[in-house]
Amino acid sequence: MSLPLVLDCDPGTDDALALFLALASPELDVLAITVAGGNVGLDRTLPNALALRSLTGRDIPVYAGADRPLLGSFASATRVHGIDGLGGIALPLGRPAEQEHAADAIRRIVRTAKAPITLVGIAPVTNFALALMTEPSIAANVEQIVLMSGAWGEGNATPAAEFNAVSDPEALAVVLACGRPIVIATLEVATQALCTPQHLADMRASGVGRCLRAACDIQGSVPFSRRLGGTGAALYDPIALAWLVRPDLFTTRPAQVTMDLGPGPCRGRTVIDRWGRTDQPANATVLETIDAEGFFALLTERFNCLP
């Protein structure tokens, strides 16, 4: 039986590859794709999600959600993802989004599901927070929440904070406190699996499908970061999906995760107590290590299952 889930995203170059991995994996039953502003504005992330969905040929409903965080103002990440969010790779749009708001759709889907639903968040988690805040009882029918978010060390958006976390820290605090099992893929696990030019060349040579080609073109547009040594680009979001498909590729650690919600330079930092220094009970499972070559083999195999 495949795992019923809602995928919340902000495509976003790495979101694109995560979406392809999710839709190519028979282990996962993607009930809905919900979209937030994040890497670029919602006016771009929504058409990007629609175009990516359409390229896969899968008719999964797509819902537009929050275009800004619960508090504060919206900030994008165009330096990494390009002004259009997909590194300038133009794709046909496909059919439009559903009319329902993403947060309403999440609440309806979770409330009415026969089996508990997994929520996968690879964007600022505003849509999940809105759903949980406006109908807290849905948490009882959430199986787990799997996030790409945060860092136990240095950030990528600020010295202290990772992009998704700092883009809506209050929303992440709401999700972390909801009482359901949380799994977090942080920057650190992603940077163990840098996508090098060789990985990309091998992937490109593995097939001829339009999704494989789009994935390689999109990932090829991502600039290498100085922070990561300039040898490759991290593939953050697909790691959260890979955990659901191939948990054997990872080692994990239970930890207490809290948010720095202060106004200072550490705002948005995920404080991850990996060594139990606070004596507080763990509220999350943190992915600690990844088998990088196994991960790239999985991506390559699955992208070749798509048209």
Measured from the CB atom, the residue of 138 and 148 that comes closer to ligand BDR is 148
Q: Which is nearer to ligand BDR, 9 or 211 (CB)?
A: 9
Q: What is the number of other CB atoms lying within 10 angstroms of the CB of residue 138? A: 22
- Contacts to Ca ion from residues 13-42, by CB under 5 A: 15
Cα separations (Å) of 236 from 14, 69, 136, 219, 264? 6, 21, 29, 11, 26
Q: Rule CB under 6 A: is residue 169 a binding residue for ligand BDR?
A: no
Of 128, 236, 250, 295, which one interacts with ligand BDR (CB under 6 A)? 236
Check binding of 244 to Ca ion (CB under 5 A): no
Q: Which is nearer to ligand BDR, 130 or 234 (CB)?
A: 234
Residue 12 near Ca ion by CB under 5 A = yes
Close Cβ partners of 262 (under 8 Å, ≥ 6 residues apart) = none
The smaller minimum CB distance to Ca ion, of residues 104 and 237, is found at 237
Spatial neighbors of 198 by CB under 8 A, at least 6 apart, are none
Which residue's CB comes closest to ligand BDR? 163
163: contact with ligand BDR by CB under 6 A:
yes
Query: Burial letters for 61-100: b for 16+ Cβ neighbours within 10 Å, e otherwise?
Result: bbbbbbbbbbeeebebbeebbbeebbbebebeebeebbeb
Q: Out of 25, 118, 164, 219, name the contact with ligand BDR by CB under 6 A.
A: 164
* Greatest CA separation for the chain: 52
6 binding ligand BDR? (CB under 6 A): no
Nearer to ligand BDR, 138 or 161 (CB): 161
Closest CB to ligand BDR among 104 and 303?
A: 303
Annotate each residue in 107-136 with x if it binds Ca ion (CB under 5 A) or - if it does not, as one string.
Answer: ---------------xx-------------
Strands (E) across the chain are located at: 3-9, 28-35, 62-64, 117-121, 142-148, 182-185, 194-195, 233-234, 250-259, 270-273, 284-290
- In whole angstroms, give the CA distance from residue 197 to residue 143: 37
Q: Give me the residues that bind Ca ion (CB under 5 A), please.
A: 10, 12, 15, 122-123, 237
Q: Give me the residues that bind ligand BDR (CB under 6 A), please.
A: 12, 14-15, 39, 77, 80, 122, 148, 156, 162-164, 236-237
